[in-house]
Amino acid sequence: MCPPARSDPQLSDSQLSDSQLLAAHRAGDPRAFGELAARHHGRLWAVAVRILHHPEDAADAVQEALVAAYRGAHTYRGDATVRTWLTRILLNCCLDRLRRARGRVELRLDGAPAAHPGLRAGDLATELVTRLSVREALEALPPAQRVAVVLVDVQGWSVAEVAELLEIPAGTVKSRCARARVRLAALLGHLRTEEPG
């Protein structure tokens, strides 16, 4: 249930909770959403830049997400925190961008991760001589795995939080993280596959 807009007009925006700010925005307060954006833009940026890799793309995604949230504030149902709601919108913006950039990759958050078109299976099976940077390695992951491991291992969200955010079972989050970590471990040089006997 969404809380009512501020009941005490003496309260400044900075003293309102996220839900109250969103309610104030829906009620027509012209400054409320700006306050909300100011609170969350850093967190949204952190997620976007680690998923999209390129700063300009990430900045665009954050802007798209904020605008989408601004427009779609009436869709907030109150069944998740505002932070989760905003992050969910951001992730959809990020995945839309990835889909436009790599047409063959399936980007459903609740679907099985698709094979990365740019990384052949043989690349992982051979002994690596070049260690990728973490950023490059993340970029090599399928989007669903990338989202999961960025949120859990980079951003420090709990599995339960990520499951709620992505609206998938916790087991699916764990599985995606597990697969992502195996790929990353190989790409980062921590894990070497067995040489054929």
Label residues 161-176 b or e (16+ Cβ within 10 Å = b).
bbbbbbebeeebbebb
Of residues 109 through 138, those in contact with other proteins by CB under 8 A are 134-135
CB 17 → other proteins: shortest distance, Å?
A: 5
* Cα dihedral value 126, 129, 134, 136, nearest 10: -70
Helices (H), 29-81: 32-52, 55-71
Of residues 173 through 192, those in contact with other proteins by CB under 8 A are 174-175, 177-179, 181-182, 184-185, 188, 190-191
**58 binds other proteins, rule: CB under 8 A:** yes
**Among 4, 12, 107, 158, which residue sits at the site for other proteins (rule: CB under 8 A)?**
12
Number of residues that bind other proteins (CB under 8 A): 73
Of residues 13 through 42, those in contact with other proteins by CB under 8 A are 13-20, 25-31, 33-35, 37-39, 41-42
Which is it for the CA torsion 46, 50, 53, 57, positive or negative?
negative
**71 binds other proteins, rule: CB under 8 A:** yes
